[in-house]
Amino acid sequence: MLRAEDNRFLTESGPGTGVGELLRRFWLPVLLSEELPEPDGEPKKITILGEELLAFRDSRGVVGVVDQYCPHRGANLWLGRNEECGIRCVYHGWKFDTDGRCVDMPTSYPDLNAKDHIRIKSYPVREWGDMIWAYMGPAGDVPELPALEMALVPPSHRYVSKKWQDCNWVQALEGSIDTAHFTFAHLAFEKEENEILDIKKHFVNPLARVSTDHMRWIAEDPRPVIKVNPHEAGLVVAGGRLTGGDNIYWRIAQFLMPVHAYAPSAMPGENIFGQSFVPVTDTNCWIYTYAWNPERPITQAERDAYDRGNGVIAEVDEDYVPLRHKGNDYLIDRKLQKTKSYTGIRGVSEQDAAVQDSQGPIADRTKEHLGPTDLGIMHFRKVVMEAARALEQGTPPAQLKHQDRYAVRSGACVTSKTKDLTAVMIERFGDPAGFVGPPRIAAAE
């Protein structure tokens, strides 16, 4: 458990807070590229880390992320006209470019050059992997973008979406690196093969050949041994389950500082799933969800399946709100709960959201009782809190020097009981961190 002051420190993300300032030192996704589809199109209100901001794509196609309010009289710039490389306030016509500079001030005399002395808050922006990223930290310390493999592969090899969630970002991310909860939260308890196949379909590539052995091992061993390996970009969190023989079935997750996590599901050749957890306020977050395949394009059938909800990707409406959410009790089916699954909720993403939201807007970690399968969670908290406290003392996060080491993969494999996690990672990925480097196909397309 955590002390109350530590729980506040871990979960607060606003300006001036310890973890909030840590998050601001990294590039964070703030929108999908598809949310700003055209130059001079409709601007988009966004709230990130408690800050009310405005995003717009200007006449050149360049995206700006700026303060939402005009500095003249406080009118909301979302009402403004997006025109000729700037957003114009409809109250008195002040106009601002993507860098926050005032480029026109009709209410002032031209010879005063008053506009040259007015700026609004703006943040550096990049488009990367079909997402719009912003850097909200000190102006002189802009780091490189993280080399996430999903952004390195060609667009045809990835699928990107997002979903809203009604809880603090930390408990949502903790659920994603918890490799033990699958036995109850996601697995059907009927033994018939068609039921096992149905659950498997919702977690990995629906077109891949399914091994019922993997589901059986998860069902029969609810107490995986947890091993954690730190690396330059974050943590490997692996859960090993007995297979009934001389082997161990490993499910290997990744945590990448400060908000990214990869699901421990993909066998060789299958699509890999990842998530990025971005605080809106301290009590809700956007979760950017994506799948990619380093070897081949994502098929149309797979994309259609993801649109309907699959694995960490939720079925969402036009505003990216899941169709099964807190407001409608995730459409829980009590009959299904008695006959098919422990949750009675359809969809892995929705099952995760239900249990995470149920912990409260901000989980009270002073009341929890952690056990052996929570080792990855403990390490995650330690890494984040130590980095935030070091930053308060003037030491920047070490991961900012290793953005190339973000090109890692998660996955699953079966190995001998005699191999430790380092040997498993080297056997599965060729590197104890799961590092793969830029995919070979990136240069070919």
DSSP for 248-274?
Answer: EEEEEEEEETTTEEE-S-PPTTS-EEE
Peptide bond into 106 cis (omega under 30): no
What are the structure tokens assigned to 361, written together? 């807007």
CB proximity list for 308: less than 8 A, separation 6 or greater: 315
Percent residues over pLDDT 70 in the chain: 93
Q: Are the CB atoms for 40 and 83 separated by under 8 Å?
A: yes
Task: Compute the distance between CA of residue 201 and CA of residue 195 in angstroms, rounded to an integer.
Answer: 10
Task: Compute the distance between CA of residue 15 and CA of residue 320 in angstroms, rounded to an integer.
Answer: 26
Cα distances (angstroms) measured from residue 379 to each of 27, 169, 234, 376, 382: 22, 17, 10, 5, 5
What are the structure tokens assigned to 210, written together? 């399914």
217 part of a folded domain: yes
- The pLDDT value recorded for residue 182 is 77
Q: What is the CATH number of the domain that holds 36?
A: 2.102.10.10
Quick one: average pLDDT of 176-180? 89
Among 141, 172, 194, which residue terminates a domain? 141
Q: What is the CATH number of the domain that holds 309?
A: 3.90.380
pLDDT 10s digits, 388-413: 999 999 999 999 999 999 999 999 98
Res 190 pLDDT > 70: no
Please give the residue that has the higher pLDDT: either 193 or 304.
304
- The pLDDT value recorded for residue 57 is 98
- Our count of domains for the chain comes to 2
Res 246 pLDDT > 90: no
Task: Compute the distance between CA of residue 123 and CA of residue 133 in angstroms, rounded to an integer.
Answer: 10
For 5, counting Cβ atoms within 10 Å of its Cβ (0-12 exposed, 13-18 middle, 19+ buried), the class is: exposed
The answer to whether residues 101 and 223 belong to one domain is no
Dihedral angle of Cα 265, 290, 123, 102, to the nearest 10 degrees = -170
Quick one: average pLDDT of 295-304? 96
Residue whose pair of structure tokens reads 């990136």 in the numeric block = 442
* Geometric angle at alpha carbon 68, from 65 and 71, rounded to 5°: 115
- The pLDDT value recorded for residue 186 is 78
The answer to whether residues 136 and 109 belong to one domain is yes
Among 86, 108, 141, which residue terminates a domain? 141
> In this structure, what are the phi and psi dihedrals at residue 298, rounded to the nearest 5 degrees?
-70, 130
Residue whose pair of structure tokens reads 């300032």 in the numeric block = 21
Task: Compute the distance between CA of residue 305 and CA of residue 326 in angstroms, rounded to an integer.
Answer: 23
Its pTM surpasses 0.85: yes
Percent residues over pLDDT 90 in the chain: 73
The answer to whether residues 126 and 177 belong to one domain is no
Among 87, 117, 141, which residue terminates a domain? 141
Res 198 pLDDT > 50: no
Task: Compute the distance between CA of residue 417 and CA of residue 147 in angstroms, rounded to an integer.
Answer: 33
21 part of a folded domain: no
Q: 213 lies in which domain range?
A: 149-443
pLDDT 10s digits, 24-67: 999 999 999 999 999 999 999 999 999 999 999 999 999 999 99
The answer to whether residues 95 and 232 belong to one domain is no
156 part of a folded domain: yes
The answer to whether residues 268 and 306 belong to one domain is yes
Quick one: average pLDDT of 291-310? 95
Task: Compute the distance between CA of residue 261 and CA of residue 349 in angstroms, rounded to an integer.
Answer: 14
The answer to whether residues 119 and 202 belong to one domain is no
102 part of a folded domain: yes
127 part of a folded domain: yes
Q: Are the CB atoms for 377 and 370 separated by under 8 Å?
A: yes
Please give the residue that has the higher pLDDT: either 292 or 419.
292
The answer to whether residues 313 and 357 belong to one domain is yes
The answer to whether residues 236 and 109 belong to one domain is no
| Average pLDDT over all residues of the chain | 90
Is residue 210 very low, low, confident or very high in pLDDT (cuts 50, 70, 90)? very low
Query: Which of 253, 252, 263, 187 is CA-nearest to residue 220?
Result: 187
The answer to whether residues 236 and 101 belong to one domain is no
> In this structure, what are the phi and psi dihedrals at residue 290, rounded to the nearest 5 degrees?
-155, 155
